[in-house]
Amino acid sequence: MTDMPDTTLTGDPSHDAPAEHGDDAAGYYTPGAPISDAKAPQGPIADRWQTRKFEARLVNPANRRKLDIIIVGTGLAGGSAAATLGEAGYNVKTFCYQDSPRRAHSIAAQGGINAAKNYKEDGDSAHRLFYDTVKGGDYRSRESNVYRLAEVSTNIIDQCVAQGVPFAREYGGLLDNRSFGGVQVSRTFYARGQTGQQLRIGAYQAMERQVAAGTVEQFTRHEMLELIVVDGKARGIIARDMVTGEIQTHLADVVVLASGGYGNVFFLSTNAMGSNVTAAWRAHRKGAYMANPCYTQIHPTCIPVTGAHQSKLTLMSESLRNDGRIWVPKKKADCEKDPRDIPEEDRDYYLERIYPSFGNLVPRDIASRAAKNVCDEGRGVGPEVDGVRRGVYLDFSAAIERLGRAGIEEKYDNLFDMYARITGENPYETPMRIYPAVHYVMGGLWVDYDLQSTIPGLFVTGEANFSDHGANRLGASALMQGLADGYFVLPHTIRDYLADGPFEKVPEDHPAVVEARRSVEDRVAHFLSTNGTRSVDSYHRELGIIMWEYCGMERSEDGLRKAIDLIRTLRDDFWRNVKVLGTAESLNQSLEKAGRVADFLELGELMCIDALNRRESCGGHFRAESQTEDGEALRHDDQFAYVAAWEFIGDPERSMGTPVLHKEDLVYTAIEMKQRSYK
Ligand SMILES: Cc1cc2nc3c(=O)[nH]c(=O)nc-3n(C[C@H](O)[C@H](O)[C@H](O)COP(=O)(O)OP(=O)(O)OC[C@H]3O[C@@H](n4cnc5c(N)ncnc54)[C@H](O)[C@@H]3O)c2cc1C
């Protein structure tokens, strides 16, 4: 069982250009100049990060006290950055919209965090983690970034253990590991099914230490609604105090966005209800390019949708695929039966059948598509929703027989309890039912190797940037990336920018500041005075249906064109007909959501244009027109081996305008591009 039977790109006809086909997205965008990552060092891949760290200029401790940093977002990415930059002696201001940094979406992470520690002596190494991640991302990520991520992964575990994060341990006391999809080693560190929460507490404590020390000032329940750009550089934000409604100006020498992902553009997702794109989208409108926005991760193991009443979906951690076996009945006629009455020979363990090397641990994009396919064939299980059964079994009976119920409880009890509470079924006795759902976005603001966006002085970390996962993220790698960015990467790269300081102070009456503030006030006033007939949620739900239908698990040229038209019509209606109750000077969730949905309505269109442009299938982006004979994703490296970096062009107030596409070529020197195979 090896993951090496890949066929190389050279001479593989499946990678040749599709029969000459025009640009599907022609007319929806303007081609722009190529973009390159000027900060990425050259030389042997293993030396690049060391080289960059050495070459990045230093700021002496006395000068750090004179430099102000704003960090928007205090999840794992922002919280770890705030703790580290505060400890280094900079003046840090943090912002989050929750009542405590503890409540960031990061707390929801269940399964684990990867690191190439090789504690199991099973052949792991930084190079293997690098290889798995580039391959898992379907060769659409940057090799320098991914190698750095693999390299610093080991430091993260040491840092977190030093903070007291209670990672699971083996009988002998050593840290335990389990496996996640797309790999054949065990490198995932975990704290039962609460890894994100425990890491969050570690980063939060480290940040609060700096709050007590006076280096970090935190603003909770404050929402960034605009970026301030002065003379082409990011110099601050406009935020709204969500309790009093006060619009505030905050100025700094540099701004970091760690504002998380935008999966909620689909309305239904596993993300926290508040996760949104506003901070990133406001920056995009001010000049920060948005990269690969169409790359969305649909996670295979979520509790199936039960009807139109839902506003939230629940993840069942990928870690469950270590012990759970996925199957559907072989015969449609069995789909209504109690699964326990279906004999072994009538079950189709389809992942084990199609992908014998990786079995139930194939990457998420592959497992999700396979689940969709068997349900489309009419072999789904569970109640029918809109005439189709959209569910497959995740069965622990063999594992319970092998490990005993106590063994399963020890690993997964909180996940099993959660499943039982939500579905009313006991997963120890009957198999869980799962189905794919939107979970994570690989797209995000474009950053260079230093994590700096196309706006000088604006850095982006964590899920908000696009940097490391290509077209598909491997499980347990988001926490790794967020903490790598915050604890180990940004603190080194940001100093190179700050070494140009001290910077001239920006007065609050600077025209760019006044303009940013005015635009926020106007937007708030517009929403409250429109007095239309439809609720914000109804627009969000409708957008989500369009996105899921046409820009979800499978995309096609016709569907994407249709989606763009539908979104444009919906957006137009939203601006004329939305109803936002309440006042500006108080807690007003309807007003908060209106701003977020307005930005989702623009992002949704860009995602569809990006998906339309990319007439290939790669990772989570599956174009119906580009598949192999057996239905696998078919890349076209000769045409699409690039990062799509989109520049916003438009009326600064409302209209989207026509975006400009800048392509960054993906060049691999340390790894060979191959057709992905997990068979
Ligand atoms: C259910 C679930 C389980 C997961 N499990 C795992 C796992 O086991 N392993 C793994 O590696 N990954 C997992 N992930 C993915 C991972 O949790 C996220 O990618 C990661 O936590 C994102 O961290 P972040 O710091 O970038 O953003 P977040 O944790 O989302 O934090 C965003 C921060 O930005 C703030 N913010 C956003 N916009 C604004 C604004 N306009 N103004 C002010 N503040 C703002 C928020 O208040 C918050 O503080 C999981 C995801 C989900 C949905």
3-state helix/strand/coil string of 77-143: HHHHHHHHHHHHCCEEEEECCCCCHHHCHHHHCCCCEECCCCCCCCCCCHHHHHHHHHHHCCCCCCH
pLDDT bracket for residue 188 (50, 70, 90): very high
Give the pLDDT of residue 307. 79
Question: Is residue 527 helix, strand or coil?
Answer: helix
- Name the pairing type of β-strands 254-257 and 68-72: parallel
pLDDT bracket for residue 479 (50, 70, 90): very high
Helix axes 76-88, 490-498, angle to 10 degrees: 60
CA of 106 to the centre of ligand 1 (A): 4
Q: Which ligand 1 atom sits closest to the C-alpha of 79?
A: 25
3-state helix/strand/coil string of 582-595: CCCCCCCHHHHHHH
Condensed to tens digits (0 to 9), the pLDDT of residues 99-109 reads: 999 999 999 99
Give the pLDDT of residue 656. 80
Ligand 1 in reach of 493 Cβ (< 6 A): no
| DSSP element (H, E) containing 329 | strand 325-329
Contact 464, 257 (CB under 8 A): yes
Arithmetic mean of pLDDT, 258-274: 97
Question: Is residue 147 helix, strand or coil?
Answer: helix
pLDDT bracket for residue 12 (50, 70, 90): very low
- Tell how many helices (H) and how many strands (E) occur in the chain: 17, 24
pLDDT at 652 over 60: no
Ligand 1 in reach of 535 Cβ (< 6 A): no
User: Would you state the structure tokens that stand for residue 201, as one six-digit string?
Assistant: 């507490």
Q: Per the residue annotation, which of 128, 140, 240, 364 is the catalytic one?
A: 364
User: Would you state the structure tokens that stand for residue 208, as one six-digit string?
Assistant: 């609060």
Largest pairwise CA distance in the chain: 75
Closest CA to 465 of 442, 488, 449, 486: 442
CA of 484 to the centre of ligand 1 (A): 14
* Shortest-distance Cα residue to atom 8 of ligand 1: 111
Residue 514: φ, ψ to 5°: -60, -40
Alpha helices by DSSP H, listed for 188-291, are 195-213, 278-285
> 234: Cβ–Cβ under 8 A, 6 or more apart, which residues?
227, 228, 254, 255, 283, 455, 456, 457, 458
Give the pLDDT of residue 651. 67
Ligand 1 in reach of 315 Cβ (< 6 A): yes
Spatial distance between the Cα atoms of 679 and 351, rounded to a whole number of angstroms: 9
Residue 306 identity (one-letter amino acid)? T
Chain CA centroid to CA 615, Å: 22
Condensed to tens digits (0 to 9), the pLDDT of residues 601-634 reads: 999 999 999 999 999 999 999 999 999 988 889 9
- Looking at the DSSP bridge assignments, the partners of residue 222 are 241
pLDDT at 8 over 70: no
CA of 322 to the centre of ligand 1 (A): 24
Spatial distance between the Cα atoms of 400 and 408, rounded to a whole number of angstroms: 7
Contact 356, 396 (CB under 8 A): no
Give the pLDDT of residue 653. 56
Contact 468, 489 (CB under 8 A): no
Ligand 1 in reach of 107 Cβ (< 6 A): no
The verdict on whether 561 is a catalytic residue reads no
User: Would you state the structure tokens that stand for residue 485, as one six-digit string?
Assistant: 């960015």
Contact 435, 443 (CB under 8 A): no
Starting at the earlier edge strand, list the strands of the sheet with 233-241: 222-230, 233-241, 247-251
Please choose from 133, 265, 479 the residue to mutate so as to test ligand 1's pocket, defined by most ligand atoms within 8 A of CB: 479
CA of 196 to the centre of ligand 1 (A): 9
Ligand 1 in reach of 444 Cβ (< 6 A): no
Ligand 1 in reach of 478 Cβ (< 6 A): yes
Average pLDDT value for the chain: 93
Contact 207, 82 (CB under 8 A): yes
Give the pLDDT of residue 15. 39
Length of the chain: 679
pLDDT bracket for residue 21 (50, 70, 90): low
Residue 34 identity (one-letter amino acid)? P
Give the pLDDT of residue 654. 58
pLDDT bracket for residue 13 (50, 70, 90): very low
Ligand 1 in reach of 196 Cβ (< 6 A): yes
Contact 465, 73 (CB under 8 A): no
Condensed to tens digits (0 to 9), the pLDDT of residues 560-583 reads: 999 999 999 999 999 999 999 999
3-state helix/strand/coil string of 364-407: HHHHHHHHHHHHHHHHCCCCEECCEECCEEEECHHHHHHHHHHH
